[in-house]
Amino acid sequence: MPVPRGRRAVRASRLPGESDLLFRNDGSGHFTEVGEKAGVHDARGYFGLGLAWFDWNGDGWPDLYVANDSYPNYLYENQRNGSFKEVAFALGVAVSEDGGEQGSMGVAVGDYDNSGRLGLFVTNFAEEYDALYHNEGDHFGDVSFASKTAAPGLPFVKWGTSFFDYDNDGFLDIVVANGHVYPQVDQVPMARRPGTGSASCSTTTAATGRSTRWPLCPGPPGRSCAWHGAWPSAISTTTADSTS
């Protein structure tokens, strides 16, 4: 039976989207919903999944990035008056490098090249590359393939993500949690790491392309660990190259 993939899967489901909500802290023990007034309520009703607050342009005011599954992503620039302006297309962070909408889910923010400017990493659906956006100061550049962070995740459905310096070398690395959404994956036999009977995680260093694997579920030979996903799912960490 054919199974819809990526954008087709979401749109074929005909599930309605929903507007986004922004709750302002009134400082008196309660919040007031101001999404529409602030200009971030998403009248189109896209499938918003991940988000991150960060000051993309260094003006001292937090901006808001929203990852939309199967639709263009949003970057709301703070107008310093309680409202926001959507600028994702103008700044180069709405769609993929070739202009395609992606199944975006997770968002991470970090100064991964120690440039003093915050970049973005956005996880996407299977067969769609994860997007690494380098902050150029007045816009973002898609450096996913140049940094070698695009290819490792292509087989997986990528969800949560974060920047962190796992090897304490002073440069941020990236961790991605992979999974899947199709019930058909229950028919896939459980995966075992050869020789151990255990599942494993992998670490990929972008600068060299070398991968290292270790047991995810340590145990004696013969013990198995179920994977989530039509492909063996793992937690993969990737080191982004400096791009400037």
- Taken in order 244, 164, 176, 208, is the CA torsion positive or negative? positive
Mean pLDDT across the chain: 76
Flag whether pLDDT at 33 surpasses 50.
Answer: yes
Residue-level pLDDT at 46: 80
Q: How confident is the model at residue 57 (pLDDT cuts 50, 70, 90)?
A: very high
CA-based angle 202:216:162, to the nearest 5?
Answer: 55
Q: For residue range 201-244, what is the model confidence (pLDDT) as tens digits?
A: 444 444 444 444 433 433 333 333 333 333 333 444 444 444 44
Residue-level pLDDT at 222: 36
- Residues 67-77, mean pLDDT to the nearest whole number: 90
DSSP state of 198: B
Q: How confident is the model at residue 159 (pLDDT cuts 50, 70, 90)?
A: confident
Q: For residue range 168-191, what is the model confidence (pLDDT) as tens digits?
A: 999 999 999 888 776 665 566 544
Residue-level pLDDT at 42: 82
The number of angstroms, rounded, from the C-alpha of 187 to the middle of its chain's C-alpha atoms is: 27
| Dihedral angle, C-alpha 240, 136, 21, 69, nearest 10 ° | -50
State percent of the chain over pLDDT 90.
Answer: 43
Residue-level pLDDT at 27: 94
Do 119 and 22 form a contact (C-beta atoms < 8 A)? no
Flag whether pLDDT at 122 surpasses 70.
Answer: yes
Contacting residues for 32 by C-beta, under 8 A, at least 6 apart: 23, 24, 26
